[in-house]
Amino acid sequence: MKELSRITETFTESVIREMTRISDSLGGLNLSQGFPDFDSPVEIKLAAIQAIANNWNQYPVTFGEPELREAIGVKAKKYNRIVCNSQTDITVTCGATEAMIATMKAIINPGDEIIIFEPFYENYGPDGILSGATPRYVRLNPPSWEIDEMELESAFNNKTKAIIINTPNNPTGKVFSKKELTCIATLCQKWDVYAITDEIYEHILYDQSKHISIASLEGMNKRTITINSLSKTYSVTGWRVGWAIASPEITSRIRKVHDFLTVGAPTPLQHAGVIALNFNQDYYDSLREKYLVSRNFLYQVLENTGFKPIMPNGAYYMIADASSIVKSLKAETDTDLSINLLKKTGVATVPGLSFYSSKNQFTKSVRFAFCKKQQTLHKVEELLRKI
């Protein structure tokens, strides 16, 4: 038989999603993949049911139902300070996942490089590779995960086509500061580079953290693609409704790619999304408060059970150093660590190494997702006592 695609040999399936399957098969408590185990807001569940009853069951406008694009445009202006035209600058996709790969396919040519901060969310590298780019990683170090400006600058060159930003960040919980985003913006303009920014955790912020969209910084509107989705803000990760905001020139290419990849995101859920985007401030405030309680609780639990967690400023993940239990769990790799922890305690995590490009190191860390009911997190406390 003829050789299968060579490019697909250069990356693996997502470890995050694999950990969910392993956890389910072992009856574990799944703190690996980041999805809520509590109910989605009732108003939007009813809106989705109503949309189906209203016969919104056929293909949507390929690049997004006009009402949803309109609502996204209003939100972008108000919350992100991004001025965009919903007719020409927005593409609704099947989750931020599709928005990211469609964006890369829309702007990358073979031989281009993309800059990715490491640790990273798993999708970016494979998305780049599938689009023909070579990823170049810039390391951020715990506990502050601050950008080393010199190191970042040295990653830019004539081949650099784009830099991927994810703020608030998965897996670190870092929220990029104005200073850091300004530094990135300056380099993007100096080297004529696009910024692709994944902002799906934009409403999940703690303490004094503020979300800033790089597209709102001077000179960045035209060279930024801002990606977002309903998934995390409205706790509907299974709906698969996301979007990309970009200039008309970039958008027309994203729309072409999207048209042939998926045609459109689910029509009734796009209509329910309009209701979601019109929620008032109370909704976002209570989302933050809920996650703040969960973050503080999990931090304490991990500290009490021998981990050294790093406090996130945003998003709903916590990286924890597990050096003190490596021996007792007979772990020689991050995968051993996560699997043996699951077998011993019933708590599923993501191995730290999944967020790094070089696969021959032992980070001795795991990632916990805390987008869970208080009850679930109390159960985690009980289970982790077994170590």
Residue (220 or 350) nearer to ligand GLN, CB = 350
Q: Shortest approach of ligand GLN to residue 143 CB, angstroms?
A: 20
Q: Shortest approach of ligand GLN to residue 85 CB, angstroms?
A: 29
Whole-number Å distance between alpha carbons of 67 and 92: 11
- Are 173 and 209 in contact by the 8 Å Cβ rule? The answer is no
DSSP sequence for 112-165:
-EEEEEES--TTHHHHHHHTT-EEEEEE--TTT----HHHHHHH--TTEEEEEE
- Write the interaction track for ligand GLN spanning residues 139-178; mark x where CB under 6 A is met and - where it is not: -------------------------------x--------
Q: Shortest approach of ligand GLN to residue 96 CB, angstroms?
A: 8
Residue (33 or 93) nearer to ligand GLN, CB = 33
95: CB partners within 8 A, 6+ apart: 229, 231, 240, 241, 242, 265
Residue (137 or 201) nearer to ligand GLN, CB = 201
Q: Which of 30, 33, 209, 365 binds ligand GLN (CB under 6 A)?
A: 33
DSSP 214: G
Question: Which helix (H) or strand (E) is 321 found in, with range?
Answer: strand 317-321
DSSP sequence for 64-98:
--HHHHHHHHHHIIIII-----TTTSEEEESHHHH
Q: Shortest approach of ligand GLN to residue 330 CB, angstroms?
A: 26
Residue (221 or 226) nearer to ligand GLN, CB = 226
Q: Shortest approach of ligand GLN to residue 182 CB, angstroms?
A: 27
> What single letter denotes the amino acid at residue 276?
A
Q: Which of 15, 16, 84, 326 binds ligand GLN (CB under 6 A)?
A: 16
Q: Shortest approach of ligand GLN to residue 201 CB, angstroms?
A: 9
Which residues in 85-114 contact ligand GLN (CB under 6 A)? 97
Peptide bond into 66 cis (omega under 30): no
- Are 173 and 314 in contact by the 8 Å Cβ rule? The answer is yes
CA separation, residue 267 to residues 30, 63, 249, 359, 374 (Å): 30, 11, 25, 40, 33
Residue nearest to ligand GLN (CB): 34
Q: Which of 28, 31, 34, 334 binds ligand GLN (CB under 6 A)?
A: 34
Give me Rg for the CA atoms of the chain.
21
Q: Shortest approach of ligand GLN to residue 130 CB, angstroms?
A: 16
- 119 lines the binding site for ligand GLN (CB under 6 A): no
Q: Shortest approach of ligand GLN to residue 271 CB, angstroms?
A: 22
What is the CA 226 to chain-centroid distance, rounded?
A: 12
Query: How many residues bind to ligand GLN according to rule CB under 6 A?
Result: 8
Which residues in 306-325 contact ligand GLN (CB under 6 A)? none
- Are 209 and 178 in contact by the 8 Å Cβ rule? The answer is no
Q: Which of 10, 17, 57, 263 binds ligand GLN (CB under 6 A)?
A: 17
Q: Shortest approach of ligand GLN to residue 121 CB, angstroms?
A: 6
Q: Shortest approach of ligand GLN to residue 34 CB, angstroms?
A: 3
Residue with tokens 């016969």: 55
135: CB partners within 8 A, 6+ apart: 113, 114, 115, 116, 124, 125, 128, 129, 357
Residue (28 or 34) nearer to ligand GLN, CB = 34
Q: What burial letters (b/e) apply to 66-75, b meaning 16+ CB within 10 Å?
A: eebbbbbbeb
Whole-number Å distance between alpha carbons of 202 and 225: 15
- Write the interaction track for ligand GLN spanning residues 241-260; mark x where CB under 6 A is met and - where it is not: --------------------
Residue (19 or 225) nearer to ligand GLN, CB = 19
Residues that bind ligand GLN (CB under 6 A): 16-17, 33-34, 97, 121, 170, 369
